[in-house]
Structure 1
Amino acid sequence: MSERIPRTLLLFSSLCIFYVTVTQAVKEKTQQQPKFLCFAVGHILSQLDFVQTLEPNAEYKFQFDDDEIFNVDIEHKETRWRLPQFGQLASFVAAGALQDINILKVNLGKFEKMSNYTKAKSVFQGDIHVFAEKPLVLGEPNSLICLANHFFPPVIKMRWLRNNQPVTDGVSETDYYTNEDIFFSKFLYLVTIPSEGDVYACSVEHDGLSINPTNKLWIPEVPNLVSETSENIVCGLGLAYGIAGIVVGIALIFKGKKNTNQTRNR
């Protein structure tokens, strides 16, 4: 096992390492949480590999906390680093991942028979979030991000719509992310130039959703300069009235004192 883990990754100190293996056929039957191999600490280095009868039928990856380090392209038999810099610090031979995946596929067939081919229950307990990568400026390029989280199994369809029309240019996606409760998340990206009047939607389909597809809207919000100007005017008037009130109050105080002194002198 240690020969297949990047040497540099083994040098991380104070890590709680756990191993998660998921097969769709037995998830609903067992309902077991992954078992930690040590006490929880500040950071977690996790290995995730799963096989299932649906697409994608297999995935193999390493994560540091909630961030992906690398995954293995099962079809092309190659390691894909989340950032190129990671590949300069460590190495991983994809053949080791393929060997583990083949073992899991054999076990999947056995568990399917044991469960009488009972399908796992589809669950979507999370939400769909859409947001821009940077502050909006109309007419300038920006990246929209759609996040679907906390669903099972890892089978989901996500796509972008612009003014109710499918968008394919500038679209990219991640593989599946997971956490300790064996639920999954996925990101979908869109590089676009927002314009006034546009309506974007991230359309998500999953068997666990009550409505398929579920569309999460994102509408470019134009800064309301008129409203801000009005607010500034109101604040300015309020300040002016306040100052005037103070001046009048001081004048009345001095006038009152003057009248009092004149009365005493008489």
Structure 2
Amino acid sequence: MKLCMFVFYLSFTCFCAFSQYSHELSYIVGCFHDGTTEVIYDFDGDLALHVDFKEKTVVFTLPSFIHFDTSSYPNIYKNANKAKGICLIIQLDDKLVPESEAPEVKDPPESILYPAEEVLRGVENSLVCFVNHFYPPLANVTWTKNNRPVSEGVFTSAFIPNEDQTFHCFSTISFKPKQGDVYSCTVEHPALEAPKTRIWDVDLESQHDLALDLYCGVGLTVALLGVAIGTFLFVKGRYGH
């Protein structure tokens, strides 16, 4: 397996007139020895969009409430095609390290599974399976609901480079919380001896109990604080200091 790659990283820093914070937009091109090319835009560490060469389109991956001018898509795809051409030249260059001399480096992925927002009964939500620190950029993420495979409502991002030359990606599934449902995401990778599975179950009752405990705790704290203030004022009024 050919594992060597080249990554071109171009970063822009911009400052919004309506905000006190600056933002970083990164343009990343990955050239891989298997002939594939990855072109992505990273906005403040989050995947903004990536180019799907198979479908010949640009896939926008930031939340829908963030507006992006889609009229620039043709230019983005055109520039990505140019980058792909450069990758092909590099991949054919005789100066590349021969496959026999390339180190067999493999880093197994870490993964966590968590809800995107607070879980409320009957309210649409998403589960996020975050897969990180893996190399080579070959990972397959699959989902189950109550031990049955699920593909509807699933989105999996492109592979995004980390600073340590490993990669990360995320996969999400849309769901409506129902007491007792059990979800799992399974990650397959060449560095794993066996697929790694994370499990998350819907437990609305315990969440309700936790919310009730927090409410009671806050209420008790406020009540005790009121008693303390009342006692202080009573003593002060009685003794005049």
TM over 0.5: yes
Aligned counterpart in structure 2 of residue 65 of structure 1, from 7, 26, 44: 44
Q: Which structure's CA Rg is the greater one?
A: 1
Corresponding residue SS for 1:146: strand
Equivalence for 1:218: 200
Structure with a larger share of its residues in helix = 1
TM-score, structure 1 length as denominator?
0.63
Letter in structure 2 aligned against 1:194: P
Equivalence for 2:136: 153
1-side partners of 2:201 and 2:94: how far apart? 47
Equivalence for 2:156: 173
Equivalence for 1:110: 93
Q: Does 1:80 align with 2:64?
A: no
Cα deviation, 1:123-164, whole Å, max 9, x if unaligned, reads: 13x521111122112344321111101111211000111222
Identity score, percent: 24
Whether the 8 Å contact between 1:24 and 1:52 is mirrored in structure 2 is yes
Equivalence for 1:257: none
In structure 1, runs of 5+ residues without a counterpart are 1-22, 28-32, 244-266
Letter in structure 2 aligned against 1:103: I
In structure 2, runs of 5+ residues without a counterpart are 13-21, 228-241
1-side partners of 2:189 and 2:178: how far apart? 30
Deviation of residue 81 (structure 1)?
3.4
- Number of matched residues? 210
Deviation of residue 206 (structure 1)?
1.0
In the TM superposition, structure 1's runs of 4+ consecutive aligned residues that sit over 4 Å from their partners are 33-38, 88-91, 225-229
Whether the 8 Å contact between 2:125 and 2:176 is mirrored in structure 1 is yes
Aligned counterpart in structure 2 of residue 199 of structure 1, from 182, 195, 220: 182
TM-score, structure 2 length as denominator?
0.68
2-side partners of 1:201 and 1:81: how far apart? 26
Structure with a larger share of its residues in strand = 2
TM alignment of 1:1-266, pairs within 5 A: 24-25=3-4, 43-54=23-34, 57-83=36-62, 85-88=67-70, 90=72, 92-110=75-93, 114-117=97-100, 118=102, 120-124=104-108, 127-209=110-192, 211-224=193-206, 228=212
Corresponding residue SS for 2:85: helix
Cα deviation, 1:164-198, whole Å, max 9, x if unaligned, reads: 22111211121122233222111111112232222
Deviation of residue 43 (structure 1)?
4.8
2-side partners of 1:47 and 1:94: how far apart? 13
Deviation of residue 75 (structure 1)?
2.1
